[in-house]
Amino acid sequence: MPGYVKIGRTTNNLEQRVRELSASTSVPLPFTVFYACKVKDTKFVEHQLHDAFDNNRVNPRREFFQIAPERVVAALKLAEIENITPKKDLIESKEDREAHEEALERRGKFNFELANIPLGTEIYFSRDESKKAKVVDLHSSKSIEYNAEITSLSTSAQKILGVNYGVAGTDYWMYDGETLDERRRRIENEE
């Protein structure tokens, strides 16, 4: 659900839990897994994450937070034993997939100029700062050069992550200590 992160745990199969959550007619979109890992003490880690990000909680009785997902990942990696993030999307129905893609589109195309990021600027990948790209176009969807290829934020993030489903590149690429999505939201809120 673009703009929201659910921080939760399961002692069951991850794919089964995601399908259970997504099957409810009380949620507008299917859940996608941004990051998942095994930890030693799930209750403790979940409680610590909820406590750490409490000021970003949408509702005190729910596990939803309005925060850049990479911020949660950075904290979760401190307790990680094994990364178990699925390499394929768990969205099964055509209707759910279309609704999810439409919701990502509604976020609006990222615009480097509106985010005050000039042409030629170097950005870096949040999970591996040695992976860098250069801004080559301020307005088009194929706006960066990564590995000598003109590409989009999302396509490059997909390749780096090794996944075969759509991702929001602005959640992974960073500039000046912020994900591009955080920067966009901050600038929009300042205006």
Residues of the chain with pLDDT under 70: 1-2, 104-108
- Distances in Å between the Cα of 182 and the Cα atoms of 17, 25, 54 are 28, 30, 18
Residues 14 and 95 in one domain: yes
Domain boundary among 47, 74, 106: 106
Residues 52 and 76 in one domain: yes
Q: 153-159 contacts: CB < 8 A, separation 24 or more?
A: 153/110, 153/180, 157/125
Residue 82 has a pLDDT of: 94
Cα 21 from Cα 1, distance rounded (Å): 12
Residues 9 and 101 in one domain: yes
Residues 166 and 97 in one domain: no
Residues 10 and 102 in one domain: yes
Structural domain includes residue 81: yes
Confidence (pTM) = 0.69
Domain membership of residue 29 as a residue range: 5-106
Residues 39 and 87 in one domain: yes
Residue 1 has a pLDDT of: 65
Residue 107 has a pLDDT of: 62
Structural domain includes residue 72: yes
Extract the tokens encoding 63.
């596990």
120: phi > 0 → left, psi -120 to 50 → alpha, else beta; which?
Answer: left
Structural domain includes residue 117: no
Structural domain includes residue 149: yes
Q: Which pLDDT tens digit goes with each residue over 123-176?
A: 999 999 999 999 999 888 789 999 999 999 989 999 999 887 778 889 999 999
Count of structural domains within the chain: 2
